[in-house]
Amino acid sequence: MSALFTPIKLRGLTLANRIMVAPMCQYSAIDGEANDWHFTHINSLALSGAGVFCIEATAVEATGRITPGCLGLYNDATEAALRPILASVRKRSEAAVMMQLAHAGRKASSHRPWDGGQLIPLAEGGWRPEGPSEIPHKEGEPPPVALDAAGLARVRDAFAAAAKRAERLGIDGIEVHSAHGYLLHQFLSPIANRRTDQYGGSLANRMRFPLEVFDAVRAAFPHDKPVGLRVSCTDWVEGGWDLPQTIEFAQELKRHGVDWIDASSGGVSPLQKIPLGPGYQVPFAQAIREATGLTTIAVGLITEAKQAEEIVASGKADMVALARAMLYDPRWGWHAAAELGGEVFAPPQYWRSQPSTQKALFGATTFGTR
């Protein structure tokens, strides 16, 4: 049997296979609210054959959005906008639906990537980003506002409030975004965090606020539903956050009840030098899994079925998450199942698409009309 297509349990949630549609920013919301683009995007990829679809980085505050087009879950309007989309997914798909909760920190108020991705000045409709310290992401940019005690409490409470809204929407699991140079990663990395209080300096201090946020989300979300965390395992910059610190962070998260670690990298500095290649981040997931025993998700240029199968079968990670490969092939899970001898869910309207050489791919061997 294919290792990729064996079930996995995360607390009270059982996934049919080890494939996740990774959270992918769409930069297409209006005032944080999902719309017809999200309806199409989410419903399509919920039928990819993956065991779980994770909704894109979803801001817990309006000022925590990366761009004005980023999705949010911070008021009644943003919550209501997601409700019909999720209702449609539940009618047509058996995939679990998770959500990545996020705050952009000093990388907020940016243009969409296809509009250049640079900081939006206040005079052009931007807003003043916040961060752990008054250090801009890019040299020459205005510095962010350093979060004070009241600001830290506000952000922490916003994560908890968003987790409660996610529960009302019926979300199956939450991933706390602590990677890619966004706020929680900024607290972890000495590149972005130069604080001299209890939230800066030593590793224990730099971990403090991300752990507080994780605890707030965990306390606000039902105990039987899983909460994981995405982390950048290295900044790819000399003197920055690295894998040994990540492992210590993961060990502490384990004591706090984390259900998985999604092992990514980079994002905190434009000076990063990333050695891109197929599966280039898989060793991070493997190292965390071996050091801590935690469930890990491997990400990063995983594109082929046999590649994903080897990662899981060899114990390098427990799951894989695919992003660009899923956009390019929205039925990636079907094709992987056909290649590896697995089985996926598909609605009966699509059963006739199965080639005659792929028996029981959808768990149904006959389909006919009179």
In a domain, 367, yes or no: no
- Report d(CA 31, CA 156) in Å as an integer: 21
CA dihedral of residues 348, 352, 354, 356 (deg, nearest 10)? 140
Question: β-strand 13-15 against 227-232: which pairing, if any?
Answer: unpaired
- Report d(CA 83, CA 104) in Å as an integer: 24
pLDDT at 78: 98
In a domain, 233, yes or no: yes
Question: Confidence band (pLDDT; 50, 70, 90) for 365?
Answer: very low
In a domain, 296, yes or no: yes
Residue whose tokens read 């297509």? 5
Active site residue 328: no
pLDDT at 359: 63
pLDDT at 366 over 80: no
Q: Quote the DSSP letter at residue 272.
A: -
In a domain, 254, yes or no: yes
| Strand partners of residue 285 | none
In a domain, 358, yes or no: no
Of 182, 199, 280, 328, catalytic:
182
| Strand partners of residue 97 | 53
pLDDT at 363: 64
User: CB-based contacts of 287: which residues, under 8 Å, 6+ apart?
Assistant: 233, 243, 247
pLDDT at 358 over 90: no
Tens digits of residue pLDDT in 245-295: 999 999 999 999 999 999 999 999 999 999 999 999 999 999 999 999 999
In a domain, 157, yes or no: yes
CB 188 within 8 A of CB 210: yes
How many independent structural domains does the chain possess? 1
At position 338, the amino acid (one-letter code) is: A
CB 96 within 8 A of CB 53: yes
Q: Say which CATH number the domain at 116 has.
A: 3.20.20.70
DSSP string, 194-213: ---STTSSSHHHHHHHHHHH
- Report d(CA 356, CA 135) in Å as an integer: 60
The rounded Cα 12 to chain-centroid distance in angstroms is 20
Nearest to 195 by CA among 255, 129, 135: 135
In a domain, 363, yes or no: no
Tens digits of residue pLDDT in 164-214: 999 999 999 999 999 999 999 999 999 999 999 999 999 999 999 999 999
| Strand partners of residue 228 | 175
Strand locations in the chain (E) = 8-10, 13-15, 19-21, 52-59, 96-102, 130-131, 145-146, 173-178, 227-232, 261-264, 296-299, 319-322
CA dihedral of residues 96, 181, 151, 260 (deg, nearest 10)? 30
Tens digits of residue pLDDT in 45-83: 999 999 999 999 999 999 999 999 999 999 999 999 999
Question: Confidence band (pLDDT; 50, 70, 90) for 90?
Answer: very high
DSSP string, 35-55: -HHHHHHHHHHTTSS-SEEEE
pLDDT at 357: 67
pLDDT at 29 over 50: yes
Domain coverage including residue 346 = 8-353
pLDDT at 277: 95
- Report d(CA 46, CA 339) in Å as an integer: 20
Q: What is the mean pLDDT of the chain?
A: 95
- Report d(CA 193, CA 338) in Å as an integer: 47
In a domain, 285, yes or no: yes
Tens digits of residue pLDDT in 103-150: 999 999 999 999 999 999 999 999 999 999 999 999 999 999 999 999
